[in-house]
Amino acid sequence: MSVDKDTVRRIAKLARIALDEGRVEPMAQELNGIMDWVAQLNEVDVEDVAPMTSAVDHALRMREDAVTQGGAADALMANAPGGEDHFFVVPKVVE
């Protein structure tokens, strides 16, 4: 399977990482190298194997419904690069 330049542009867009046009081709080559190497997994018959999503085999623990967090808008905003009046601020989004 080969990762072409359009694919690199598409996934960079999905991942929201600006990729200069000059980096598209080298990135395609790097990804191809990695994906070719990964392709050895195709040797294995995994037909009847269940996918493993966690190394933990207990079920989800549930917490009780109580308000234990929040009410700390100042601490929440302390690291915000563009915060105003307890709002996070971004360039205008047109919906």
Partner 1 sequence: MSDLTSLTLAEARDAVRAKKVSSVDLTKAFLGAVEAARPLNAFITETPERALEMAAASDARIAKGEGGLLEGLPIAVKDLFCTKGVRTTAGSNILSNFVPPYESTVSQNLWDAGAVMLGKTNMDEFAMGSSNETSFYGPVFNPWRSRGSNANLVPGGSSGGSAAAVSGSLCLAAMGTDTGGSIRQPAAVTGTVGLKPTYGRCSRYGIVAFASSLDQAGPMTRTVRDAAILLRSAASVDPRDSTSVDVPVPDYEAVLDDGVKGLRVGIPKEYRIEGASPEIDALWADGVEWLKKQGAEIVDVSLPHTRYALPTYYIVAPAEASSNLARYDGVRFGHRAQGAHDITELYEKSRAEGFGKEVQRRILIGTYVLSSGYYDAYYIRAQKLRSLIAQDFTRAYEKCDVLLTPATPGPAFAVGEKSADPVAMYLNDVFTVTVNLAGLPALAVPAGLTADGLPLGLQIIGKAFDEATVLRAGRAIEVAAGFDAKPQQWWRAA
Partner 2 sequence: MSTPAKGQTVKGQTVKGQTIKGQTGDWEIVIGMEVHAQVLSHSKLFSGASTEFGAEPNSQVSFVDAGMPGMLPVINRKCVERAVRTGLGLKAQINLTSVFDRKNYFYPDLPTGYQISQYKSPIVGEGEVTVDLLGGESVRVGIERLHLEQDAGKMLHDQHPDQSYVDLNRAGVALMEIVTKPHMRSSEQAAAFLKKLRAIVRYLGTCDGNMDEGSMRADVNVSVCKTGGYEKFRESGDFKHLGTRCEIKNVNSVRFIAQAVEYEARRQVEVIEGGGTIRQETRLFDSKAGETRSMRSKEEAHDYRYFPDPDLLPLVLEDSWVKEIAASLPELPDGKKARFVALGLSAYDASVLVAERETADYFEEMLAAGAEAKAAANWLNNEYFGRLNKAGLSLATGPISAAANSAIVQMVASHVISGKIAKDLCDIVWKEGGDPREIVERRGLRQVTDTGAIETAVDAVIAANPDKVEEVKAKPKLAAWFVGQVMKQSGGKANPQAVNAILKVRLNLPDEG
Chain residues binding partner 2 by CB under 8 A are 14, 16, 53-54, 56, 58-71, 73, 76-77, 82, 84-95
Question: 83 - beta bridge partners?
Answer: 88
Of 45 and 84, nearer to partner 2 (C-beta) is 84
Partner touching 87 among partner 1, partner 2, none, CB below 5 to 8 Å by kind = partner 2
Report phi then psi at 56, rounded to 5. -100, 130
**d(Cα 57, Cα 24) in Å, to the nearest integer?**
41
Q: Does 24 bind partner 1 (CB under 8 A)?
A: no
Q: Does 78 bind partner 1 (CB under 8 A)?
A: yes
Report phi then psi at 77, rounded to 5. -90, -10
Report phi then psi at 9, rounded to 5. -65, -40
Of 42 and 67, nearer to partner 1 (C-beta) is 42
